[in-house]
Amino acid sequence: MQRGFEPAEFQNRLARAQSLMAAAGLDALMLTTETDIRYFTGFLTRFWESPTRPWFLVVPQSGRPIAVIPSIGAALMRKTWITDIRTWSAPDLSDDGVTLLADTIRECVGAGARIGVPDGHGTHLRMPLQDYQRVLDLLPQATFDGDHRIIETLRRVKSPAELAKIERACAIAGRAFDRVGEIAGAGVPLDQVFRDFQSLCLDQGADWVPYLAGGTGPLGYDDVISPAAPEPLQQGHVLMLDTGLVWDGYFCDFDRNFAVGPVSDEVHGAYTKLLEATQAGQEAAVIGATASDIYHAMDRVLTGGRGGGDAGRLGHGLGMQLTEWPSFIASDPTEIVAGMVITLEPGITMSDGSVLVHEDDFVITEQGARQLTPRAPRQMMEI
């Protein structure tokens, strides 16, 4: 499979964005995060791990995006389809791209333009607040507005080329999960399992493994976000591994539960219920339904409709990030449309207060929600 995208992919994204910008009355978008900039440029690097330097992309209502970036990124940006690349030597403690950004906006869309900056759920501004204020001060006639959820609207729906990358990530993780018996079992410390599972993911073709969580316990685990302790796995306990690995900038996000030797009937019963809830969610995930409908379909199986649970939701969107819009909660009205990629992630609170969680990934199609992750065993796999 080829890395990157054809220029047409970016042209389509840009055209859709510009159409929404016109409808919202925005002259440009000002973008600052890894995903938002990559979405329009294809600029892919792990260098965002360094928080030092800000990066900017100006997406005008007509014409091509303009990159305003530290010079350290120029060589890589020149390999993308972006041709207007303006750089400064960063870090610059007195003016870290601020004047260059303001000048670019002024030249590109005018001093009195209306600029959209993503400000809604799941977003943040990746630049110092102080510098953002300086940009506003340098453009006193401009209006800074939110992005009217344009980025969310675009990124919620995946193109076939994006979907292919997510499917590949899912397949890689699926093969790694198949091999968990090689690295885990009673007596193996959980932190060793975490290290070795990441190596399995890499061995199966992951570019990298940004996310791994998991847990273990007699019935379930304390939560689904903890790092691994050095305690050895115990016979009769459950082991859960939940990974977000990346292939060419796209995530999978799913987990598998394993029985370390025979586990209790309560675990088997809960596991079956989690699979039933996942299936109910899959059946509800049809075009025209809402995120809320999917939540309720799953929650009816899990709690009889009472809701609750610390996780706060029963799944979410997936793509360039480990978690994206929408959220499967009672109050998310997002309409389900073809091309959305989602995870269904039901959880059950066990009798000892621990939790058991299952997760699978799906794409919404005209024929219903198609599962992207390998089918989980009907009985919890014993290792």
**Minimum distance, C-beta of residue 62 to its own copies, in the bound complex (Å):** 26
Cβ at position 331, least distance to its own copies in Å: 6
Count the Cβ atoms, other than its own, within 10 Å of residue 109: 21
**Cα angle vertex 352, ends 213, 243, to 5°?**
10
In the complex with its own copies, the residue whose CB is nearer, 15 or 229, is 229
Which CB sits closer to its own copies, 98 or 363? 98
Residue 274: count of CB within 10 angstroms of its CB: 26
For residues 215 and 226, give the distance between their C-alpha atoms in angstroms, rounded to a whole number. Answer: 7
Q: Least distance in Å: CB of 56 to its own copies?
A: 13
Is residue 129 within a helix (H) or strand (E), and if so which, with residue range? helix 129-138
17: closest CA among 133, 132, 150?
A: 150
- Minimum distance between the CB of residue 133 and its own copies, rounded to whole angstroms? 8
Q: Quick count: other Cβ atoms within 10 Å of Cβ 342?
A: 29
Host H or E run for residue 37: helix 34-41
For its own copies, the closer CB: 47 or 110: 47
Q: Please measure the distance between the N-terminal and C-terminal CA atoms of the chain and give it in whole angstroms.
A: 33
Say how far apart CA 329 and CA 332 lie, in whole Å.
6
Closest separation in Å from C-beta 126 to its own copies: 5
Cα–Cα dist 156/321, whole Å: 11
Q: Which is nearer to its own copies, 24 or 381 (CB)?
A: 24
Strand-strand pairing, 114-116 and 28-31: parallel
Distance from C-alpha of 64 to C-alpha of 264, rounded to nearest angstrom? 59
Closer residue to its own copies, CB minimum distance, 324 or 361: 324
Residue 179 C-beta: closest distance to its own copies, Å:
13
* 100 or 381: CB nearest its own copies: 100
Q: C-beta of 367: minimal distance to its own copies in Å?
A: 29
Q: What are residue 327's DSSP bridge partners?
A: 316
Nearer Cβ to its own copies (99/365): 99
State the minimum distance, in angstroms, from the CB of residue 381 to its own copies.
23
Tell me if 366 sits within 8 A of 382, measured CB to CB. no
The nearer residue to its own copies, 63 or 122, going by C-beta atoms, is 122
CA angle 50, 56, 59 (to 5 degrees): 145
**How would DSSP label each residue in 131-155?**
HHHHHHHH-TTSEEE--TTHHHHHH
